Structure 1
Amino acid sequence: MPIISYALLLSRLNLQHLIIVKAFDRKLLAAPVSLKDGDRVLESGAGTGTWMLQLSTQVPSTIQIHGVDIAFRLFPAIYPTNMSFSIGSITSLPESWTSSFTFVHQRLLMGALTMTMWKAAISEISRVLVPGGWVEFVEAQASFPHVGTQSTKLAMFLVDMMRDKQLLVDCQIYIPIMLQEAGLVNIHSERRGIPFGRSAGQDGIDGSTNFAGAFVGMKAPMLQNGGYGYVQSEEEFDQLIADAKDEWLASDSNLPFYTIYAQKPL
């Protein structure tokens, strides 16, 4: 990946973190977990480690924070001594991690996990949680705002691509069900909206710009199979994103986000 593209991706993901946290009252954790000295926290799909870095400023240094991701290229180069990273998948965690984490955090893996993978991930998370520990998922609704012909087209494009790849569309509906099936309790889901229009000021501009950038990152898979009948070239794809963004900015729409948490029984 070219350096400039990497830098833009890093910037977009860090801004995305700030946008989501702001939508949820600036709280990094919605689950009613009480972290104490010696506890361990796991972030699945750690990415840039931004959530972990911010958490490290809010908890004692005696709390260990570990991030796991399938690739290391976004991991930060500098981080506190109570933070660590490893390469791996949430669907298959080390056996040595059994009953060792008080809290597990996972955000925006809707574009990576099939139904089977979601079930495996939840099973693994339950295994690595200590009895009484909590897991929290943060996910967006797959259907982006339909406020015009181009934004509707882009949203339908995304859903068709996800279904083609057997990804779990509207995972916010299924996660609570899978958590219950896995034996977790005290399941709670909360919905918030990320503003997408200029009427919301800088927050709306940031929201539409940031998530339009997310579509740019999905260009290759969305252009497979002839663009699923929506576009015929990269140029048409880029124009579709630009037009959809203009429609979002001219509206007072928002993108629904959900935080879903549950507890492992004692």
Structure 2
Amino acid sequence: MPWWFFRRRSRGSLSAAHAADPVQPSSGWHLGEVALPRLQGSRRYLQEQPYLLPKDLGEVNRLDFQHYVLRAALHSNYLAPIGQPRRILDVGCGTGQWAFELAQQFPQAEVIGLDLELVKASASPPPNYRFVQGDILHGLPFDDNSFDFVHQRLLVLAIPQAAWPAAVQELARVTAPGGWIELLEVGTALQDYLPSGPATQEFYQLGSQLAALRGIDTDGTVMRSLARYLEEAGLVNIHYQALDVPLGEWGGRIGSLMALDLREVWKAISAPIAARFGRSEQEVLALIEQAHREWNSFHTSCHFAVAYGQKPI
């Protein structure tokens, strides 16, 4: 069985009383079906998952920062014409900040954030928000046709490239007729960071080799296929929008903030890269700092894309 294969869980709904309990999938891919290379370093990595980034306090802070950068770049939290949804699902919710803001924007809606772990406990979450522990690779623990708006973004480093079509089909399964799915992803090919200098190119080669060992997309296929995934999942009224976001002070406030965020992403995998390819971590960190300077001098931009589509009524 290919390691990216997964079966859906039972499609029985998860009651509110058990919403915070860990999901126990009945089947799915497990560590041992494939030898995932260990991510070495002082930060906390999920060794049993293909996810390439850490799961720790430093990543929590970065995810919150990234949320505000993306909201500023998009001028919104979403682009789909969702109307007044009754139920909203955020798959891979991270810190929950996006879902919190949607819960505040739509107080009449039930908003659910789903992720591998509850990474940031909130003392006062919106009353219409709840967290569910789960994994898209094991199937979503919700009934068919459950949500009016299903949102997922920046999981290209978490979902193996070969699993993307089935993952989007699972998103479509839980979307209600007339409801919308929105996907936002960043490019993973060197051509998605242009023009690029020698340090950027060298780090990309190292990072892409590490990602490939975990089945992660390294040539930008996922970002460029978002509309196709939605179409194959049976959605209609599909829209695809490419976004070029500047990296560096040359791009103003958004450029400065996006460069800071990307530098932290690269630093988060500096130790695993160093360990895997026989470099010192100091050498890798110096390479990242050189790349960070290059983005400003070369006027580098980073490519993102948003795709959304509607489930037929």
TM bucket (normalised to shorter chain) is: 0.7 to 0.9
Q: Are the counterparts in 2 of residues 145 and 253 from structure 1 also a CA contact under 8 Å?
A: yes
The aligned residue for residue 239 of structure 2 is: 188
The answer on 1:18 being equivalent to 2:45 is no
Alignment of 1:85-164 (within 5 A): 85-94=131-140, 96-142=142-188, 143=190, 144-164=193-213
Cα deviations across residues 112-166 of structure 1 (Å, max 9, x unaligned)? 1113321221121111000111111111111334421101112232333222322
CA distance in 1, matches of 2:152, 2:121: 16
- Could you tell me the TM-score, scaled by structure 2's length? 0.75
One-letter amino acid matched to 2:68: L
Shift of 1:77: 4.0
The answer on 1:235 being equivalent to 2:282 is yes
The answer on 1:211 being equivalent to 2:257 is no
What is the aligned-residue identity percentage?
Answer: 30
Shift of 1:57: 2.5
Residue 262 to residue 209, structure 1, CA distance change in 2 (3 Å): same
Q: Are the counterparts in 1 of residues 60 and 94 from structure 2 also a CA contact under 8 Å?
A: no
Shift of 1:248: 1.2
CA distance in 1, matches of 2:123, 2:295: 35
One-letter amino acid matched to 2:70: I
Moved over 6 A (4+): none
CA distance in 2, matches of 1:72, 1:65: 15
3-state SS of 2:137 partner:
coil
One of 211, 226, 235 as aligned partner of 2:277: 226
Cα deviations across residues 160-194 of structure 1 (Å, max 9, x unaligned)? 32223221231112222222222222221101122
One-letter amino acid matched to 1:172: M
Cα deviations across residues 190-249 of structure 1 (Å, max 9, x unaligned)? 01122212222332221111111011222344345326xxxx121111111111111113
CA distance in 1, matches of 2:135, 2:209: 25
**Which stretch has the larger CA shift, 247-256 or 157-166?**
157-166
**Which stretch has the larger CA shift, 154-163 or 126-135?**
154-163
3-state SS of 1:133 partner:
strand
Residue 89 to residue 75, structure 1, CA distance change in 2 (3 Å): farther
Q: Are the counterparts in 2 of residues 146 and 155 from structure 1 also a CA contact under 8 Å?
A: no
CA distance in 1, matches of 2:308, 2:142: 24
Residue 202 to residue 96, structure 1, CA distance change in 2 (3 Å): closer
CA distance in 1, matches of 2:239, 2:58: 34
Residue 218 to residue 199, structure 1, CA distance change in 2 (3 Å): same
The aligned residue for residue 263 of structure 1 is: 310
3-state SS of 1:138 partner:
strand
3-state SS of 2:66 partner:
helix
- Could you tell me the TM-score, scaled by structure 1's length? 0.88
One-letter amino acid matched to 2:226: I
The aligned residue for residue 72 of structure 1 is: 118
RMSD: 2.1
The aligned residue for residue 97 of structure 2 is: 50
One-letter amino acid matched to 2:285: D
CA distance in 1, matches of 2:287, 2:140: 42
Shift of 1:13: 1.4
**Which stretch has the larger CA shift, 96-105 or 42-51?**
96-105
Structure holding more helix per residue = 1
